[in-house]
């Protein structure tokens, strides 16, 4: 089973058809009319039973997909409980995918590609199709079929498409080909990290808080844009289009900075940060509703952290002297879960004390794991770095001095970015400075290589070529934070 996500199915269909033609495979394009009615049925009962089990809207609804005998060797897919003809494009797509899965051609070709459009489908059945493919069809015995490729036209949904062992293997996003590694790669990399005894850094980005139901930085950014532009809650506008509309509006207001004016609309949209949006928001509403909205949500969920936070708290409790935490997140998930095991540095005054503390910690003279919060903390709103003007000024001397203490030439300090996009305009230039290149052994944990990380890797490439891990791909763990921290915890000693 090879799961694939693409932005535009029409663009890749000719390639898929060509591959199937060369390999004598079969392309089942569920958009075509033949999948709107009964199809020649498979002789294998296994796929039919798997479909009946997995293709359900449970727990949100009792409605599910069932199979019926169409006569003459045909089989049809219908909705049951309650029954009824499909009334929407999404329902028609669900049944078309079901018919493709039980098609007899899966028993007569070694390669079969099933292609469908995910966007019309309700979320419960999006999950059902993905679960059917990843959990039930994966490894299902078949005398002829050797490779089943599931191609979903969709924007990448981390919670759906990037789960450990159930995520896409290939994706096309913005013209880039993305690859994700298998579970074995995670276990090997996490095992080596768990055995690391020299103090190493975990740099926590927005992706770290995903399973704790905190919105990612891009989600907050998009929420602010929708509020500013008056986009209605029910209107589906993809993130890139939102960023493009925001560019147009800011340009019309005359609010683009000199650097932004030199960028193309596409480059601006791809690099747009939360800080840039909140800087514009402050012109319209100085009370910063985006930050206030985040705080209200944060205060509700911080008492019930997700798996990544729970596992990190365990590592902190059993890893004094081995861990150093750095974050650009406002949230207080780590502090709430780890309690007195961490020593937090937030304000300029506190960062003034950080270098001395870190030096003592690295010598084994401190009993708390340091937590450096570069962008402030949500319980102290004035400390939060939320504007483009603030990030344009850089990190500041106190924070830079603290980070420089962590540099090490021999051996280089292991520094692991977890769910970090590396687009922060204050952090990125500092890390790209040659002294950090010489003093850090950088690794990444993220569902896939984003464009901003790819750009960072290209700038760091001259340094890496002198090491045993010469490429970004060799330094990357394509997993969500939950899977990563669970794997490290299993090997932690």
Q: Is the pLDDT of residue 97 over 90?
A: yes
User: Mean per-residue pLDDT for 368-382?
Assistant: 92
pLDDT at 388: 61
User: Residue 389: what pLDDT?
Assistant: 63
Q: Give yes or no for a contact between 74 and 41, defined as CB atoms under 8 angstroms apart.
A: yes
Percent of the chain with pLDDT over 70: 98
User: What percentage of the chain carries pLDDT values higher than 90?
Assistant: 69
Flag whether pLDDT at 36 surpasses 80: yes
> What is the pLDDT averaged over residues 84-100?
92
Continuous segment of H or E residues that includes residue 20? helix 9-23
Q: Which DSSP state fits 372?
A: E
DSSP helix/strand/coil, 246? helix
pLDDT digits (tens, 9 = 90+) for 468-490: 999 999 999 999 999 999 999 99
Mean pLDDT of 441-460: 95
On the question of pLDDT at 183 being above 80, the answer is yes
pLDDT at residue number 475: 96
Rounded-to-integer distance, Cα 192 and Cα 207, Å: 22
| pLDDT winner (highest mean) among 159-163, 280-284, 394-398, 443-447 | 443-447
Average pLDDT score over residue span 302-322: 95
Residue 392 has pLDDT above 70, yes or no: no
pLDDT digits (tens, 9 = 90+) for 209-257: 888 888 766 777 888 899 899 998 777 788 888 999 999 999 999 988 8
Output the pLDDT for position 477. 96
Q: Give the separation between CA 241 and CA 269, rounded to whole angstroms.
A: 8
Residues 6+ apart with CB under 8 A from 283: 255
The predicted structure's pLDDT at residue 84: 81
Beta-strand pair 413-418/369-373 = unpaired
Strand order in the sheet with 342-345: 342-345, 369-373, 323-327, 200-204, 413-418, 440-446, 476-478
The fold for domain 184-213+306-491 equals Rossmann fold (3.40.50)
Three-state helix/strand/coil letters over 295-346? HHHHHHHCCCCCHHHHHHHHHHHCCCCCEEEEECCCCCHHHHHHHHHEEEEC
Q: What's the CA gap between 216 and 200, in Å, rounded?
A: 25
pLDDT at 139: 86
The mean-pLDDT minimum among 33-37, 69-73, 195-199, 289-293 falls in 289-293
Residue 390's pLDDT is 61
In this predicted structure, the answer to whether residue 441 has a pLDDT above a threshold of 90 is yes
Query: Distance between CA 76 and CA 50 in Å, rounded?
Result: 15
> Could you give the C-alpha distances from 47 to 137, 167, 184, 256, 285, in angstroms and in order?
7, 20, 27, 55, 55
What was the pLDDT predicted at 386? 64
Q: Hunting for tokens 């060799």 — which residue is that?
A: 474
Per-residue pLDDT at 24: 95
Is 70 exceeded by the pLDDT of residue 292? yes
Q: What is the pLDDT of residue 266?
A: 84
Residue written as tokens 């999948």? 35
CB 315, CB 418: distance < 8 Å: no
β-strand 440-446 against 476-478: which pairing, if any?
A: parallel
* Cα angle for residues 171, 174, 178 (degrees, 5° grid): 30
Nearest-angstrom CA–CA distance, 107 and 436 = 55
Confidence of residue 60 (pLDDT cuts 50, 70, 90): confident
Note the pLDDT of residue 425: 82
Question: Is the per-residue pLDDT at 169 higher than 90?
Answer: yes
274 pLDDT more than 80: no
DSSP 8-state symbol, 137: I
- Average pLDDT for residues 339-345, to the nearest whole number? 96
Mean pLDDT of the region 65-80:
94
């Amino acid at each position: 089973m090879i799961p694939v996500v693409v932005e535009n199915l029409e663009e890749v269909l000719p390639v898929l058809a060509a591959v199937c033609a060369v390999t004598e495979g079969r392309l089942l394009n569920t958009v075509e009319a033949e999948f709107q009615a009964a199809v020649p049925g498979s002789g294998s009962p296994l796929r039919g039973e798997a479909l009946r089990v997995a293709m359900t809207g449970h727990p949100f609804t009792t409605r599910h997909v069932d199979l019926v005998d169409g006569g003459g060797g045909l089989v049809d897919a219908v909705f049951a409980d309650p029954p009824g003809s499909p009334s929407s494009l999404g329902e028609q797509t669900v049944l078309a995918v079901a018919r493709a899965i039980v098609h007899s051609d899966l028993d007569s070709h070694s390669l079969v590609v099933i292609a469908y459009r995910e966007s019309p489908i309700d979320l419960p059945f999006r999950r059902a199709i993905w679960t059917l493919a990843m959990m039930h069809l994966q490894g299902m015995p078949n005398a002829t079929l050797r490779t089943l490729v599931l191609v979903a036209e969709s924007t990448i949904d981390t919670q759906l498409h990037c789960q450990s062992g159930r995520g896409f293997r290939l994706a096309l996003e913005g013209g880039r080909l993305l690859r994700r590694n298998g579970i074995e790669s995670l276990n090997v990399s996490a095992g080596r990290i768990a055995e690391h005894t020299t103090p190493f850094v975990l740099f926590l980005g927005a992706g770290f808080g995903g399973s704790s139901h905190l919105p990612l930085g891009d989600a907050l950014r998009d929420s602010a844009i929708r509020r500013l532009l008056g986009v209605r809650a029910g209107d589906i506008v993809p993130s890139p289009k939102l960023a493009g509309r925001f560019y147009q509006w800011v340009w019309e207001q005359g609010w683009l900075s000199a650097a932004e004016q030199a960028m193309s609309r596409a480059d601006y949209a791809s690099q747009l940060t939360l800080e840039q949006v909140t800087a514009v928001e402050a012109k319209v509403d100085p009370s910063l509703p985006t930050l206030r909205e985040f705080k209200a949500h944060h205060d509700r969920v911080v008492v019930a952290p997700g798996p990544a936070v729970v596992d990190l708290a365990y590592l902190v409790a059993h890893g004094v002297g081995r861990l150093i935490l750095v974050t650009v997140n406002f949230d207080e998930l780590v502090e709430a879960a780890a309690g007195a095991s961490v020593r937090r540095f937030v304000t300029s005054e506190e960062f003034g004390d950080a270098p001395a503390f870190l030096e003592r910690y690295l010598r084994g003279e401190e009993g708390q794991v340091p937590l450096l919060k570069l962008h402030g903390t949500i319980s102290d709103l004035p400390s939060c770095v939320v504007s483009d003007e603030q990030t344009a000024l850089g990190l500041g001397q106190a924070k830079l001095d603290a980070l420089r203490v962590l540099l090490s030439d021999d051996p280089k300090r292991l520094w692991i970015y977890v769910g970090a996009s590396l687009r922060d305009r204050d952090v990125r230039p500092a890390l790209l400075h040659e002294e950090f290149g010489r003093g850090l052994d950088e690794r990444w944990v993220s569902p896939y290589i984003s464009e901003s990380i790819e750009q960072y890797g290209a700038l760091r490439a001259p340094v890496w070529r002198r090491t045993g891990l010469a490429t970004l791909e060799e330094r990357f763990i394509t997993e969500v934070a939950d899977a990563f921290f669970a794997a490290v915890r299993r090997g932690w000693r």
